[in-house]
Structure 1
């Protein structure tokens, strides 16, 4: 995707891009820290269809929401191996010592050498894997062979 950056003297910076569907969108980053989302007319990108001002806190929350959606989409599309790093999904069943327990990704990474990326619950991908695990959850993790094997053993109770 191509993003155009345009300085707006005394106002801030405008970033414009075109979506896959052909809609021109802009974000104006005001020097005050506020943001403004701009939607342009599809048949004339010089005309503004609508704008939505966002305060600093609103912009941060929207950014977090968009980042989580992108992360969730990326996790859902992961393949089993990328450049020598294995990606696996480990199902939590009733035998798991982690069923009903909070997951601590940093502690597990130190203990096993594998990184927990996300937790899939039902059809929802939780990009923040520090959650209380339930039976049926799938933990998405990445690492080399032995660390993945060790993490699988730890999470399934086969250690």
Structure 2
């Protein structure tokens, strides 16, 4: 499947795809943050048949339903202050290997290289959660570590494994 990136001057960017069943879908990322899901007319693939506006959290939840994607948001301000350190926010998607499991379960054998230093749950900050703290769908784990450590932690949350030479 090919993803088309279409600039919409004054509006934002549209990413459009055509499925194997020849249905055309698009996502318009507006400059102010709103996203529109677009279903195009099958007879005229340039005309929108239906548009659904999504708030940021709704777009993330829809992405979870479709693919179980793990999103990693970098905290650039902190990274710029400390060379070699990466600070990220990792949203726990529905169906994640982390959902319902403690930080200890995620890091068997005391993995180091990255640490969850806080969790944001329902808009409330949980600073320095202990190893028994159980993550839930829609939590945002705030983690700090080196690039490799963050990659390993993200893979553990997604339920996949990664390897790197020399590690």
TM-score range, shorter chain: 0.3 to 0.5
In the superposition, the TM-score normalised over structure 2's length comes to 0.44
In the superposition, the TM-score normalised over structure 1's length comes to 0.46
| Structure ranking higher in helix proportion | 1
